[in-house]
């Protein structure tokens, strides 16, 4: 069966997750985490030349390195998200295999990704990515974790090496507001791409939106929340039967994961 084509982001921004094959650990010590940070930094600072002017492969807006997976919030620049992730994965796997005397794949064959097409979802992902270590019980506070981009945001404006493009975020959201958002626990049922999300939706987001428009004349999927409960549930059931995944429908319509799961 052919693989489903990745949905194209209208903003060029994607939430990406790289996972160790068979969920194995991909970071064993601090040196490993630091190597991954170096590779992320290379993607934001170097690329093939465009004339005499080199530009970054991508912008990284947020990241979190967990023991067996990596979350990235990436904006495409001179390279596609697929090329960026491939560069990171190949270089890190080569380093890891050489260091630990192993052979073969380190990462799950196909990285997971989702398009980020609204500022609201972008902010939700900023919160979610930085809260990963707290949710996993590794630290009590977001600021206590050493291997996420929150260090970049917390020290923005200080003369310290930064991987993330913090300015574009902080120009919209002051650090005091962002700090409050990031430290407010996020709803577990928002349907965000996660390490435990093993099943991929059978239809694309655009297919869902087209079906919804044809069925109800609804151009904005978020409008489904304004419908009477019975009508809303009937429409969501039709979307599920059409092939929409529960997390996918939650993300597109804004209806909670739990509600859609129970329908």
Distance of CA 6 to the CA centre of its chain: 14
pTM, full prediction: 0.69
pLDDT of 2 above 80: no
Q: Which of 62, 255, 23, 82 is nearest to 166 (CA)?
A: 62
The string of pLDDT tens digits covering residues 138-192 is 888 999 999 999 988 887 655 555 788 888 889 899 999 999 999 988 866 555 6
Q: What percent of the chain has pLDDT over 90?
A: 33
CA angle centred on 18, ends 108 and 210, rounded to 5°: 95
The string of pLDDT tens digits covering residues 210-251 is 998 898 898 888 889 889 999 999 999 999 888 887 777 877
Facing residues of 15 across strands? Answer: 73, 114
221 within 8 A of 208, measured Cβ to Cβ: yes
- Tell me how far CA of residue 100 lies from CA of 21, 86, 106, in angstroms: 16, 21, 12
Q: Which parts of the chain are beta strand (E)?
A: 13-19, 49-50, 53-54, 58-65, 69-76, 112-115
The string of pLDDT tens digits covering residues 40-85 is 998 887 544 444 445 678 899 999 999 889 999 999 888 888 999 9
Specify burial of residue 101 (Cβ count, 10 A radius: 0-12, 13-18, 19+). exposed
Q: Give the pLDDT of residue 194.
A: 62
State both tokens at 121.
């979802």
For the segment 131-138, the average pLDDT, to the nearest whole number, is 87
pLDDT of 3 above 70: no
């Amino acid at each position: 069966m052919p693989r489903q084509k990745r949905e194209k982001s209208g903003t060029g921004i994607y939430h990406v997750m790289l996972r160790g094959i068979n969920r194995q650990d991909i970071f064993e010590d601090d040196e490993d985490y630091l190597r991954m940070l170096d590779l992320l930094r290379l993607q934001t600072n170097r690329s093939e030349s465009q004339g005499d002017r080199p530009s970054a492969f991508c912008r990284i807006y947020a990241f979190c390195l967990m023991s067996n997976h990596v979350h990235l919030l990436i904006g495409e620049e001179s390279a596609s998200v697929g090329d960026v992730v491939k560069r990171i994965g190949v270089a890190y796997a080569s380093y890891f295999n050489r260091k630990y005397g192993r052979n073969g794949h380190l990462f799950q064959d196909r990285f997971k990704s989702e398009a980020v097409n609204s500022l609201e979802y972008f902010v939700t992902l900023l919160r979610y990515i930085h809260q990963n270590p707290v949710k996993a019980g590794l630290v009590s506070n977001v600021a206590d974790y050493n291997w996420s981009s929150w260090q970049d945001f917390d020290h923005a404006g200080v003369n310290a090496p930064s991987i993330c493009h913090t300015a574009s975020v902080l120009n919209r959201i002051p650090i005091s507001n962002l700090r409050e958002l990031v430290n407010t626990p996020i709803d577990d049922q928002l349907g965000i791409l996660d390490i435990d999300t093993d099943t991929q939706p059978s239809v694309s987001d655009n297919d869902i939106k087209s079906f919804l428009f044809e069925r109800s004349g609804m151009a904005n999927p978020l409008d489904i929340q304004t419908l009477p409960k019975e009508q809303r549930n009937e429409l969501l059931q039709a979307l599920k039967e059409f092939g929409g995944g529960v997390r996918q429908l939650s993300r597109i319509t804004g209806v909670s994961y739990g509600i859609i799961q129970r329908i």
